[in-house]
Amino acid sequence: MAIREIQKKEWGNYFNSFSKNFLKDKQPEYAEIRILADSMGMQPETNWLLLKGITYDDKSDLLEIQLEKLNRLIHHPEKIYVDDDDQGWMLSFEVIQPDGTKNIIELR
């Protein structure tokens, strides 16, 4: 499938469904996070770490990526783009922050 934008009203359900359907089996999934900002270019945030869950809380407008050794919190995300395959497995996603910073998360 092509990269597509997920509308903000769908974020909570999308990530809850992904976590429930793809992260609760016996097959571990891993994530790598990179940050792209005008002021510093592309910087690695993590190398491949065990992915435990992804949640979005609309009340606090907070996206949380839960990894084995840390949680990446993204306050007030503006846009989210996903690249998923035909079975619904998310290959990667990108979160745009208010200042234009991009969080690029790849999954395997």
Closest listed residue to residue 17, CA positions, set 90, 94, 107: 90
pLDDT at 89: 81
| Structural domain range at position 56 | 4-107
Confidence tier at 32 by pLDDT (50, 70, 90): very high
Q: What's the whole-model pTM score?
A: 0.90
pLDDT in tens, 39-90: 888 898 999 999 999 999 999 999 999 999 899 999 999 999 999 888 778 8
> At 85, which amino acid appears?
D
Helices (H), the chain: 11-22
Top pLDDT among 18 and 75 is at 75
Closest listed residue to residue 8, CA positions, set 53, 45, 56, 52: 56
CB atoms within 10 A of CB 70: 12
Number of domains making up the chain: 1
pLDDT at 1: 64
pLDDT at 59: 97
Residue 45: give its domain's CATH number.
Answer: 2.30.29
How would you classify the pairing of strands 102-107 and 30-37?
Answer: antiparallel
